[in-house]
Structure 1
């Protein structure tokens, strides 16, 4: 599937621009597919006390705390409800590679999480099956700003990036991301997932509105000029790399995900970790995809619907400080104080739209690698 063939482009920016951010609008373009599978057909609320007895759903999600929450908090509840088995498969960058290398009719997972780039690349490679939103009783509750234009993924949660810093050595109280260019010294910025740094710099730059510099060649120079103005001691390759840099005094602050940073701060004794989420910040959405070739479509739809209930959204939220797709979720204080939660507040978060930046990605990557080489 070429970029031209994929006219849907799968962007939230396009969806919101047309005012089409409703699941009802999405479900109308699905047709009647998506319900066949070896386990039979179930729609809506399942009446049987054990509708998926002796069935296993292979569910791939992010490694680390995210996978732990699913394994320890969500898996037992779903298995008790359905009689089936939820197999949690942690992963990161290898998710797409494992799907590609598997036979088309025998995927390694039935449902998988993706980041924005993985979502886009998977679309181009026909790795996703359509989601039948008519099978999701709770889909109508999903916050509009989290939806994509195409019906091949369901958002369950989202997170934001924050300042994570050594309280003893930072030397100032972090505010907006622009403080990186005027107050910060020895910052650790994302290096391997370079678009996180570019999104942040596009917010700081005043060349265009909010993050629009990233999506136009006319704004790219402003992004890189902003990054050059930051006293960056390292571009980290992974979370542990960033934390080690701060612990060893190479950096005194980093740009990282709030939920993961909070968990780190609660389990670290070697330093006092402070956290701050700017009013305008970058973020990510955990979209879950039905993998092509799965024979567990009905069980997958049932699990997604289960995860969208207020009860399970609250369970997720209480154990990991992310925002939830369902506005009826209840949150711990740390989330209430730091994460934008209502649909309007989500407009202050820059969610990457890889489909809109893909044509520039090679050039942006080359420029970013050159920038890193000079640090």
Structure 2
């Protein structure tokens, strides 16, 4: 996802998801709901077989994660540790825009995953379609160590805040100035450069970045005022966008081909990868936008206890500390100790976390169709 917040920065051919997360989650006919009547009718007949059908027979815990190097690094730094500690097997299911639709179209009692990752968009629409179990907080005691802001700013009834990433500004080292705020993308220096690259799969992040740079309202609140949406769109239109990227590979390639000199991208897909590219660096704005992953137990799983155990494991400060050595990810446990100099850029407390404008899908859901259409039209007319 970061190629989009969680798409692979090193894999080409990633599918653009400009409208699919919202549209699929909002418009897809849920087979889960169509089957609910049948499921209710057969509940009594199945009751005596619950023990035989449930986990405990050695089946792996199926965990859906963002595809690409997120999945690779997650497996290296987290999965092996969990399997060793709990003598259990995890089956990773990397994906992106198919995650919600896979759950929606599966039978009620046979979901494709036991645990799934979600960012704000997926988390909101997944809750609307009843795709997740409520989290039983007594089974996730590490929630007590979550930074207060992450525990409060978004509903945690169906998912636990674990990790995420702010947006950062990638730019050439040889530029005459160092862009260090989103307002700089509207500066004459950037206008005179080769151009800018932005994400199109997650159109809301360039828009939130533009809103943060506008500074007409508090930290991106322009996006939460429908009367200001045209102003935000106009700000993005005025950027010299030359790369409308659907993957991280698009951004890196645009730099290598001298198409762009500056880009909006994601810290988690940048900080540990940028050294692979000559002449590039990145600067984290003091105020920015970004995404936060909530991890959910999928409705219908027969491994609900183990799924909550796994999520609690992800929330452990020692696990997150070790995880940061492999992935430059924002973490939510207040006791996490970031590897290297990551703490210079990533928030470690509520005060710092409040400098990231996380999209509010409770509000955006009413406007996302129009905003997506306007962003797509902007791209088509470029």
- Residue in 2 aligned with 1:57? 61
**Given the alignment, which residue of 122, 136, 143 partners 1:139?**
143
The match for 1:113 among 110, 114, 117 is 117
Q: Which residue of 2 aligns with 1:129?
A: 133
CA drift of 1:150 comes to 4.4
User: Does 2:250 align with 1:241?
Assistant: yes
1:255 offset after TM fit, Å? Answer: 0.6
Distance 1:38 1:309, change over 3 A: farther
Matched, 1:163 2:194: no
Q: Which residue of 2 aligns with 1:80?
A: 84
Shift, 1:64, TM fit: 2.1
Q: Distance in 1 between matches of 2:95 and 2:262?
A: 27
- Deviation, structure 1 residue 313: 1.2
- Give the Å deviation of 1:55: 4.1
How far off is 1:351 after superposition? Answer: 0.8
Equivalent-residue separation in structure 2 for 1:39 and 1:118 (angstroms): 32
Q: Distance in 1 between matches of 2:57 and 2:82?
A: 12
> 1: CA distance between counterparts of 2:103 and 2:53?
24
1:283 aligns to what SS in structure 2? Answer: strand
Aligned residues: 327
Number of the residue aligned with 2:299: 292
Q: In 2, Cα distance between the equivalents of 1:142 and 1:39? A: 36
Superposition map of 1:1-375 within 5 A? 54-147=58-151, 148-168=154-174, 170-182=175-187, 183-184=189-190, 185=193, 186-268=195-277, 271-375=278-382
Residue segments in structure 1 that go unaligned for 5+ positions in a row: 1-36, 42-50
Shift of 1:65: 2.4
Distance in structure 2 (CA, Å) of the matches to 1:137 and 1:59: 20
Shift of 1:214: 0.6
- In the TM superposition, what is the alpha-carbon distance from 1:158 to its structure 2 partner? 2.0
Taking structure 2 as the reference length, what is the TM-score of the superposition? 0.81
Conserved in 2, the CA contact under 8 Å of 1:208 and 1:219? Answer: no
Q: CA separation of 1:65/1:249 partners in 2, compared to 1, >3 Å: closer, same or farther? A: same
Superposed CA offset, 1:77-101 (max 9, x none): 2112222111111111111111112
The Cα shift of 1:207 comes to: 2.6
**Alpha-carbon RMSD:** 2.0
1:52 and 1:266 map into 2 onto residues whose CA distance is 44
Q: Deviations over 1:76-132 (max 9, x none)?
A: 221122221111111111111111121111011100001211111111211111110
Instruction: Give the Cα separation in 2 of the matches to 1:213 and 1:294.
Output: 40
Q: What secondary structure does 2:233 align onto?
A: helix
- Normalised TM-score (structure 1): 0.83
Listed one character per residue, the Cα deviations across residues 126-177 of structure 1 (whole Å, up to 9, x for unaligned) are: 1111110111121111112223224000111121111112323x43211111
Match of 1:7 in 2: none
Tell me, in whole angstroms, the C-alpha distance in 2 between the residues paired with 1:233 and 1:300.
43
Indicate the residue corresponding to 2:40 in structure 1: none
Aligned with 2:218: secondary structure?
A: coil
Structure 2: state its 5+ residue gaps: 1-49
Asked if structure 1 preserves the Cα contact closer than 8 Å seen for 2:53 and 2:302, the reply is no
